[in-house]
Amino acid sequence: MMPIKTPYGSIRPWDAPDVPALVRHANNRNVSMRMRDAFPFPYTIADANAFLGIVARQSPVTFFAIATPDEAIGGIGITRNADVHRLTAEMGYWLAEPFWGRGIMSETARAFSDFAFEAFGLIRIYAEPYEGNIASCRVLEKAGFTLEGRMRGNVIKDGRILDQYLYAKIRE
């Protein structure tokens, strides 16, 4: 099932040679401002190596690269929950800014969520974009996710309190 072939390339496992492309594309305020603080700015070689180290220790692996035949251009993954939430997972993703606006993430989020339901035995996958992240909300709608709510004052990012949207997709 992995790699997943796509028109632009593939969704595939991360690999050590991805470090330079990962740093080049992830070291971008326009990306990091819409992500968790665990996705730092500036994004250094040490950050990339630490991330690939985490992925290398994952079992099963749940974080993957979005890649053209030439290079990694983004990431997508899920974080699984515990206890009574163990059939649910949060999905997160980012794309390198030069590749925005071509439909890449809409396509990737749909393919990856369908893969993840199957691969990890999930019932529910959700995502939580910050207020104002219209592109990500649109990605989720196009990938079959439904808006379930708006969590007011749920985030502090770069010193600002933000609302967060809750989008979810249930396994068919």
Ligand X SMILES: CC(C)(COP(=O)(O)OP(=O)(O)OC[C@H]1O[C@@H](n2cnc3c(N)ncnc32)[C@H](O)[C@@H]1OP(=O)(O)O)[C@@H](O)C(=O)NCCC(=O)NCCS
Smallest gap from Cβ 99 to ligand X, in A, equals 7
Residue 123, SS3? coil
Query: Could you tell me which residues come within 8 angstroms of residue 144 by beta carbon, excluding any fewer than 6 positions away?
Result: 110, 113, 169
CB closer to ligand X, 10 vs 136 = 136
CB closer to ligand X, 55 vs 66 = 66
Smallest gap from Cβ 16 to ligand X, in A, equals 23
Separation between Cα atoms, residue 85 and residue 7, nearest integer Å: 34
CB closer to ligand X, 14 vs 94 = 94
Q: Residue 35's closest CA among 116, 110, 117, 130?
A: 130
Residues that bind ligand X (CB under 6 A): 31, 34-35, 93-95, 100-106, 127, 129, 133-136, 138-139
Smallest gap from Cβ 111 to ligand X, in A, equals 12
Smallest gap from Cβ 79 to ligand X, in A, equals 13
**Rg of the chain (C-alpha set):** 15
Separation between Cα atoms, residue 63 and residue 53, nearest integer Å: 12
CB closer to ligand X, 7 vs 83 = 7
